[in-house]
Amino acid sequence: MTRTGLYPGSFDPIHNGHLDIIGRAVKLVDKLVIGVAVDTGKSALFTLEERMEIAREETAHLKDQAEIVVHGYAGLTINAARSLGAQFLVRGLRAFSDFEHEFQLTSMNQQLDRDIETVFLMADPHHQAVASRLVKEIVSMGGDITPFVPEGVKRRLMAKAGQR
Ligand code: ADP
């Protein structure tokens, strides 16, 4: 049986916190699907295609650890997991503040599909505070985002912000 995990998010754009979680998740599954949500619930800086392309570029080096597939999806995450044949949903926990939201989401997902387990992973403390929203805010104000994103993502963010 292929152990398949779905790691869902908006990935607008992918950052070092996400990549830390992905690096851990590939040790647990044979196939990891990075599910890039069409609907981010907020206006995205990058298009779906850009978010997917960035995710592909930044995870290419992990392909000898597990099969990695980047997949765009709309609608309920649990439905995406089911149609992809994923047995696991992978979520990253940052701070205590994530807990309540994740607790609710997981409880409801358990009722929507009892066969899909949610697995929580914690990033290295260095990466725990990174959030796409803050990275975008910092770059828009001319701050240095080097510690938070890989070089390729930094270049794309700076280009969007009109910086060289
Ligand atoms: P962001 O909040 O940075 O926009 P997403 O909404 O794309 O991220 O989150 C996708 C998943 O990644 C969620 O499970 C979220 O908790 C997790 N995640 C995001 N940032 C981090 C981080 N710095 N450390 C660990 N997990 C994270």
Record the tokens describing residue 21, joined without a space. 């979680």
The string of pLDDT tens digits covering residues 40-56 is 777 899 999 999 999 99
Question: Span 124-137, mean pLDDT?
Answer: 94
How many angstroms does the Cα of residue 132 sit away from the middle of ligand 1? 8
**Ligand 1 pocket member 154 (CB < 6 A):** no
Q: Looking at residue 161, what is its pLDDT?
A: 87
How many angstroms does the Cα of residue 64 sit away from the middle of ligand 1? 24
The answer to whether residues 59 and 101 touch, using CB atoms and an 8 Å cutoff, is: no
Which residue's CA lies nearest to atom 27 of ligand 1?
92
Helix or strand run (H / E) with residue 54 = helix 48-59
The string of pLDDT tens digits covering residues 82-103 is 999 999 999 999 877 788 889 9
Q: Looking at residue 164, what is its pLDDT?
A: 62
Domains recognised in the chain with CATH numbers: 4-125 (3.40.50.620)
